[in-house]
Structure 1
């Protein structure tokens, strides 16, 4: 039942709303059907970001993809946690490492989700920034990929989301928004820093493509 709910919400309702009301131009995500598993990494300016990426996915994949989100925000209460898990399919994690307790450690949780066959949506900046301004990338995604180097990462860049729904505003307004995908890639380094540098280069290239 959850699978059908997610497919209807994002494949029909949310996609139509974002396209017709907000004005989002979607890149074609059908190429993701050729990938067994992946981690979508994207810039982050708005709460619309997750909805936009989920709506861009082929319907067959929507229920197999889990957006990674902060537990202290989207899981503040048990009710909010259940809503988030059921209607967004979130993987809720805490913001800080907990190597002594793997059940709470965010890297362990993400690796475990991959091992269970899910793909992930991850925002390496960690939090929403100012519209069209990129923040430094945090190491979490690199640490996950170093543990599962066979999983490809897919860069995605969104333009205009922070204007359509700014960080401190819950009002959604029409704006010229766009989502573009890069090429799925396997990491080619064994250290965090060059992995993040390559991802930043990927974001810069996609941003330039949208200018």
Structure 2
């Protein structure tokens, strides 16, 4: 199981890079301007229209993965899932800031389309902002709880916003 880590933050110092690489085996994601990518900073790359699969007009997962543009921020996550790794992501794009989740980013939906066989287990880390505050490298020893929900899946033809909500 591998956490997803923002490359710009977690490789800023040798210690951060060591802990995320050697200890946590993180998957790095590029998220800032100046990283090699074919699209302007802050814009998600357009996905070519994939060939529909036999199941009621749903996109073909293999075609979606093959159409992933070079430099797409999801590429390292796709590679990890193709290798059989489990990943831990914050679908908000960052650790939470409060008692309620922020709107989810579309990457979760795209991954669910590309990997319909992957089990998605929602989890809520209560007190994450105190256990792993922004700017800290290792968790602070404060009590927290993790609540796991029932596995979810993308229904055939389900729209992005409905899935993410």
TM over 0.5: yes
2 CA distance for matches of 1:136 and 1:147? Answer: 21
Q: What is the aligned length?
A: 131
- What is the alpha-carbon root mean square deviation over aligned residues? 2.7
Tell me the equivalent position of 1:88.
24
1 CA distance for matches of 2:17 and 2:73? Answer: 16
Q: Is the 8 A contact 1:165 1:173 kept in 2?
A: no
Structure 1 residues 80 and 145, CA, compared in 2 at 3 Å: closer, same or farther? Answer: same
After superposition, the C-alpha distances for 1:144-173 in whole angstroms (9 at most, x for unaligned) are 111111111000011123234543667936
After superposition, the C-alpha distances for 1:13-53 in whole angstroms (9 at most, x for unaligned) are xxxxxxxxxxxxxxxxxxxxxxxxxxxxxxxxxxxxxxxxx
The structure that is helix-richer by fraction is 1
Tell me the equivalent position of 2:82.
115
Unaligned runs of 5+ in 1: 1-64, 198-211
Larger RCO (CA under 8 A, 6+ residues apart): 1
Structure 1 residues 73 and 167, CA, compared in 2 at 3 Å: closer, same or farther? Answer: closer
Unaligned runs of 5+ in 2: 32-41, 47-67
1 CA distance for matches of 2:132 and 2:16? Answer: 21
Matched, 1:162 2:129: yes
TM-score between both structures, scaled by the size of structure 2 = 0.66
| Structure 1 residue 107, shift from structure 2 partner | 1.6
TM-score between both structures, scaled by the size of structure 1 = 0.53
Mapping for residues 91-102 of structure 1, pairs under 5 Å: 91-95=27-31, 97=44, 102=70
Report the secondary structure of 2:109's partner residue.
helix
Report the secondary structure of 1:179's partner residue.
strand
| Structure 1 residue 75, shift from structure 2 partner | 2.0
Tell me the equivalent position of 1:74.
10
Mapping for residues 1-211 of structure 1, pairs under 5 Å: 65-76=1-12, 80-95=16-31, 97=44, 102=70, 104-167=71-134, 172=140, 174-175=142-143, 177-190=144-157, 191-197=159-165
2 CA distance for matches of 1:169 and 1:85? Answer: 16
